[in-house]
Amino acid sequence: MPCSHFLLLFLTKVIMPRGHKSKLHAREKRHQARCQNQGRGDVQEKAAAAAEEPPPEESPPSSSVSECVTKSLPVAESCSTSHQEPQEAPPTTTTSEVISFTRYEEDSNIQDETKESNSSPSRSKVCRDPIARKTKVLEQFLLYKCKMKQPIIKADMLKIVNQKYKDQFPEIFKRASEHLEMVFAVDVKEVDSTRELYDLVSKLKLPNNGRVRGGRGLPKTGLLMNILGMIFMKGNCATEEDIWKYLSMMRVYAGRKHFVYGEPRKLITKDLVRLKYLEYRQIRNSDPARYEFLWGPKAHAETTKMKVLEFLAKINGTAPSAYPNLYEEALKDEETRAQALRVAKAATTVKVCELCRAMRAVYLADPIDV
């Protein structure tokens, strides 16, 4: 303690009369308060200085999946197992499941939205528009049911949306379905009209209806469709550097775990290659070794360039014809496929006819009594 403070305390306690003591005591309190305020000011100044420094490069704030996909859209010319239905009528959503969904929705919102997006005009617009707000709730509910591998029943969807919006439900359901299609490349389909049972069906026949690996999780089809689109845009062959640069706009980074896609490098270079949706090969004569991606045989069999272009155009809010060169190539691909199909059908017809003639010749040579 400084000598001046010690002397002041000594005078207060021993020598001074009560009146002077109270005045000095008050003065001492004011002095301590000034010191504390000064300390707080120093801390605030340090905090402000720290805030002005650029943030570390580690993990950028995550935004919603839809925002990520929208940011990854190409500028024009620039750049499952089958559903097993339950044998018995599935139960409706219970109170505990609603509570679990509510927690899931809150967690998803924490992951999907930053303070900036919460205060953005689009976010405010969603808050003001009850239909948009209910659409968001229904999207989260459908994803929750998909992730937990639980049946999706229309009665449960109405319960989550609220009976008050029953008349607006068709529009809410349509918006939610279209958004999930753009983000995850899944179709919300009615798989049982009697029980009004729905499911999220992957656009490609990836294992576990788009999850790739067994267990709970969300479909990875949207990521695959984006990669196929990037390969198509790059002349049907894209370097690994191009792919990761493209995916970084979706905030998907090699070696950094993603809350939907897991570890992206393993998913893209191992799982999707093993499943033959992507081909991953070393670029010839590259030293040090560099790699490139092409469509795998499963991708060629299960989708087309036109379907991939339609997917990307839909995300961008336009038509495939907005990309003239890609659209022309996709049309040629459609015609080539159609011609190959006609040739295959013709060949099959010829074989059937030859088989029929051979059987007829055998019958005429040795007729069988019927």
H/E run at residue 122: helix 121-128
pLDDT of residue 129: 86
* The two three-digit tokens of residue 99, written as one number: 């509570």
Name the nearest CA neighbour of 294 among 223, 238, 219.
238
C-alpha–C-alpha distance, residues 355 and 336, integer Å: 29
pLDDT of residue 314: 92
Do 106 and 140 contact (CB within 8 A), yes or no?
no
pLDDT of residue 347: 73
What are phi and psi for residue 2, nearest 5 degrees?
Answer: -60, 150
pLDDT of residue 27: 63
b/e per residue 308-322 (b: at least 16 CB within 10 A): bbebbbebbeeebee
pLDDT of residue 89: 47
* The two three-digit tokens of residue 301, written as one number: 């069999």
Alpha-carbon torsion angle 114, 115, 120, 126, nearest 10: 70
**Does pTM surpass 0.85?**
no
Cis peptide before 288, with omega less than 30 degrees from 0? yes
- Going residue by residue through the chain (370 aa), what tens digit of pLDDT does each one get? 554 454 445 444 444 444 544 555 566 666 566 655 555 455 444 444 443 344 433 333 333 444 444 444 444 433 333 444 444 445 555 444 544 554 444 444 434 433 333 444 555 555 578 899 999 999 999 999 999 999 999 999 999 998 899 999 999 999 999 999 999 999 999 999 999 999 999 999 999 989 998 888 899 999 999 999 999 999 999 999 999 999 999 999 999 999 899 999 999 999 999 999 999 999 999 999 999 999 999 999 999 999 999 999 999 899 999 999 999 999 999 999 998 888 877 777 777 777 777 777 777 766 655 4
What is 132-192 written as a DSSP string? HHHHHHHHHHHHHHHHTT--EEHHHHHHHH-GGGTTTHHHHHHHHHHHHHHHH-EEEEEEE
